[in-house]
């Protein structure tokens, strides 16, 4: 008789990261249960509706060995009652799921947070590390920081092993946001005014995030049941260098021209794009030594990750 596969419940399974992670989990021998808001006709899906403080998780968690919580409210900060919605989904929804997981006897819980709990840049400071005092920015960063704090309190009173992962910008096939915008600009051959930027920023290939999640699922910490990890590619490069690598992966020539960073930053600030200014001009360096000390190694390099992102492949 074959040994029963361990069961992992993945929230946000139909999102960008989830579409990469779930097949990687299946290949690694996990039986994947996909939590979805509405029926999508996917094998092993379980419909839970909207995530919040009253979501019914009992059926989804029955017999589960682990949970990977990807689902979150992200890009809707200007909608009506946004603050309450972010609190209901990202804080109350996360903590309710974790408490239900404890009650169901789940052994491991992985929460994908965000590097924004540290702020948007660390210009003129050391790379961010897990022990830094948090300075979260925006509704998303604030809500993730509060959810982390709640999970830490929960871990003190229970045996479930909780891992918090704080990723920077995640790129890969199907990624949206700034990565999609840069990819489109490079593909169209648009001139980009970032040639003079000499910052250092961390990025994370979705394959590397998936591999770290798999690594943690296979190696729960025997000493502490609550751990936080900063996870990124080994290469931490400037915005200009990232665009050059992106162009190389797409077989294009990067059309970069130099505008003084101070001038570019002033223009972005003047037009109300301070967040864009921080993302393009500011530095965001991460100390990933704690993740590496677990024995994990990034699965792909920056160039390999970008090639996979543009060729719509996975590893």
Indicate which residues carry an active-site annotation: 140
- Residue identified by tokens 């915008």 is 181
- Say how far apart CA 161 and CA 108 lie, in whole Å: 5
- Biggest CA–CA distance in the chain, Å, is 68
Residues 6+ apart with CB under 8 A from 183: 246, 250, 309, 310
**To the nearest 5 percent, what fractions of the chain are helix, strand and coil?**
40, 15, 45
Cβ neighbours for 4, distance < 8 A, ≥ 6 positions apart: none
Rounded to the nearest 5 degrees, what angle is found at the Cα of 149, between the Cα atoms of 144 and 150?
A: 95
Residue holding tokens 């704080």? 166
Q: Decide if 47 contacts 9 (C-beta within 8 A).
A: no
Run of H or E including 187: helix 177-188
- Strand 7-11, strand 236-237: pairing: unpaired
């Amino acid at each position: 008789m074959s040994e029963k596969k361990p069961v992992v419940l993945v929230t946000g399974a139909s999102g960008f990261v989830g579409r990469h992670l779930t097949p990687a989990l299946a290949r690694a021998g996990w039986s994947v249960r996909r939590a979805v808001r509405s029926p999508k006709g996917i094998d092993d899906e379980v419909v839970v509706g909207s995530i919040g403080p009253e979501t019914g998780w009992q059926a989804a968690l029955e017999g589960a060995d682990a949970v990977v919580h990807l689902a979150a409210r992200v890009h809707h900060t200007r909608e009506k009652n946004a603050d309450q919605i972010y609190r209901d989904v990202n804080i109350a929804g996360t903590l309710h799921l974790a408490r239900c997981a404890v009650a169901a006897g789940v052994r491991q819980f992985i929460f994908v947070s965000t590097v924004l709990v540290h702020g948007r840049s660390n210009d003129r400071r050391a790379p961010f590390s897990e022990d830094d005092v948090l300075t979260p920015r925006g509704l998303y960063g604030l809500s993730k920081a509060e959810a982390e704090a709640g999970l830490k309190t929960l871990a003190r009173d229970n045996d479930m092993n909780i891992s918090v992962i704080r990723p920077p910008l995640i790129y890969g096939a199907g990624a949206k946001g700034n990565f999609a915008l840069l990819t489109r600009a490079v593909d169209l051959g648009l001139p980009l005014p970032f040639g003079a930027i000499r910052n250092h920023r961390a990025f994370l290939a979705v394959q590397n995030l998936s591999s770290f999640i798999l690594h943690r699922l296979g190696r729960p910490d025997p000493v502490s049941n609550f751990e936080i990890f900063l996870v990124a590619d080994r290469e931490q490069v400037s915005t200009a260098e990232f665009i050059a690598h992106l162009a190389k992966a797409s077989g294009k020539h990067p059309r970069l021209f130099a505008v003084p960073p101070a001038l570019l930053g002033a223009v972005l600030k003047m037009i109300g794009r301070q967040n864009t200014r921080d993302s393009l001009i500011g530095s965001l360096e991460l100390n990933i030594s704690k993740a590496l000390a677990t024995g994990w190694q990034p699965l792909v390099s920056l160039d390999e990750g970008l090639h996979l992102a543009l060729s719509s492949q996975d590893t």
